[in-house]
Structure 1
């Protein structure tokens, strides 16, 4: 009987070791679903999260967003330095580029300004 128990135990362990392999085989089909082009809101959320992780600053808003041949291009407004009163806080605009799957490929600060200042780039 001890042989049957050890045999059934080894069968159980071999079956349990097979289960992860089976689920791994099913993952590529899941990965092919993930390789679909993300929806715009998914891209916006992911871009903000990735930029915040890289810079350590929270993205407050997205001021421009467009789909390009390479993927996506965004301009994200970030709080760089909090001051009192809040209208004196330093803000920055970051140009963010993502590939067609929504992964951040690059970013750069294009402008820095005080929160309470009107945008002088508008020409008015």
Structure 2
């Protein structure tokens, strides 16, 4: 899979493709290709995360499980923190939904603590003045590692609708 062209994939697709690559040299070549062409922060982060995981696997071949201090659970799966989830949502939301991201309203772990949920606002139609922009509010579901597993639009409204800011999110 040395001829993987990162520019042909969305960031989520690239993350999926990278999971099957265990060779650090191949990952370095993919990173260099991304840096020279698209230079997307989210793609570079995904490649770096995979490189770190591959290098950690090489270092920890004889370890049996790991502690929670390094962000991994007992089975060895990497558990994303809130900052990683926020960065991934920021990088992927506009690509996923196909419209510009306006803001990330909230991020929280779900009830059992394994998965994440993010609430974002997407600009669905720009207007002049911008208080008349139409925004869509979307819920994005992520697994424990920070990979997006689903999304849905919850609502549409004008940016100037101040009632929206006064209501807590009950939709997640």
TM-score between the two structures when normalised by the length of structure 2: 0.51
Deviation digits for residues 3-54 of structure 1 (CA, Å, limit 9, x no counterpart): xxxxxxxxxxxxxxxxxx6857xx6643658842122111011012222112
Q: Greater helix share, 1 or 2? A: 1
Structure 2 match to 1:107: 151
CA distance in 2, matches of 1:81, 1:31: 45
* Secondary structure of the structure 1 residue equivalent to 2:83: helix
Structure 2 match to 1:90: 134
Specify whether residues 22 and 102 from structure 1 end up closer, same or farther in structure 2 by C-alpha distance, changes over 3 A only. Answer: closer
Give the count of matched residue pairs: 102
Structure 1 match to 2:91: 49
- Are 2:80 and 1:38 equivalent residues in the alignment? yes
Unaligned runs of 5+ in 1: 1-20
Q: Greater strand share, 1 or 2? A: 1
Larger Rg: 1
CA distance in 1, matches of 2:120, 2:25: 39
Unaligned runs of 5+ in 2: 1-22, 27-50, 58-69
- Are 2:71 and 1:71 equivalent residues in the alignment? no
* Secondary structure of the structure 1 residue equivalent to 2:106: strand
Alpha-carbon RMSD across the aligned residues, in angstroms, is 3.0
